Structure 1
Amino acid sequence: MPTACADCPLRCQPMFQPMNAGEVAFMQAFKSSEVEVAAGQVLLWEGQSSPWLYTVLRGQGLRSKSLPDGERQVVNFVFPGDFLGLQSGVMGEMKHSVEATTDMTLCRFERNELWRVFRDQPARAFDLTYLAATEEHFLGEALLTLGQRDATSRLAWALLRLWRRAVATGMQGPRGVPLPWRQRDLADALGLSLVHTNKTLARLRILGAAHWSGGYLAVPDPARLAELAQEEDGASTPRPLF
């Protein structure tokens, strides 16, 4: 049975800003359906237009761009609460692909109804603008990381962001937070070789900053990981949930 927006398990998580009753009611009317996607399935294809927009309710995935030689560049990683397909909704086609890494549950919206948000719910429309600005800010940080940080700082930065995001969406358990991607995915995202990535992950483990094993990431010393990442050790600012 589809999850009612009023009962959305993400709304109570510290990652997201609160929504008033009117916004919840609007999102319930805006929501077209709920879909299940199997691990490995591509949700959105680079270069294609999609009639749908999605919010991730459960599960994890990744965004990537294809290269002419058949390789790919991982752009970033997908978590519950992420809004997918905005590029297609605004620009007419996707500039990257989105693939499910685990089984996923998605709230689905009709792309043609997007303009109704701007017409009837300006506060929600601003939230979309905020999310786009957040994505731009992330890409700026990623560019800084690739250009100026060494391998240890790159991996520490990436693991810190992934850990903070998972914790803020209520995904932490006894083994840490789920990190279902391959080392190859993280290496592709950070512009490192697989061998270099493996050695640097071992160094972070020896330093007691982070341990990634068996699909879970444990961070016994967040302050140490933040220091290695050249980041401040603090909570992220809550963002809108669309």
Structure 2
Amino acid sequence: MTEQKSTPTAPTLRPVRGAARCAIVALVLAGVTWVARAVWHIRLAVTGEPASGPPDQGGGVHRPLNALEDSYHLVASVGGGVTAVCAIVFLFWLDRVRDNAKALSGAAPRYSHPWLWLGWIVPVVNLWIPRGLVADVHRSVFPERRLPAVVNWWWGLWLAGLAGGVGLIYADDTDEVIARAYQGVLPLLAADLVIVAAAGAAALMVHMLTTAQQEHIAGQDY
């Protein structure tokens, strides 16, 4: 009998370049919307609080908004919508590169699939699981290489943007943020700057990890 040699089956890989481009565009747009918020924070601070006081008068009473305050509500709403879309597109990209990393390495991910979504919202573990998900994409394919510094920069800036309820997740409603801009704008501007930097670092990270994974795939002889 003739002995037949089995040929290794090529792993099933998902296309990621399109998802990466969409994620980068979404991150850039999110950064632009946060630059716009910073501009409106400055405009509110320079204009100063009206004689009638802050929009939220206390006791459930809100005075009518002036034109600048009304436009800030619009900017904040658009920014919130863009940020939400950006998060979805980013997770869509992460899901794809994570699946490819699993197929290429043959190893099960450290975190199961539900953590791709829950890892961002479950308290305490959201301080490290999202970074771990991204780090595993790189390490599963390039275990001998150091994690790119941009991953740590992105995660540090992300956490800084969340700190104190002045960044991505405001503890106050929009009218209360307007009042804070009138009373002391510097903390708001600092948070805006951190979030814009985090979006830029995330876009660079998406590009670097996608490129590295694609080069690894191109270099394999399946």
TM tier relative to shorter chain: under 0.3
Structure with bigger strand share is 1
| Larger RCO (CA under 8 A, 6+ residues apart) | 2
**TM-score after normalising by structure 1:** 0.25
What TM-score, normalized to structure 2?
A: 0.26
Point out the structure with the larger helix share: 2
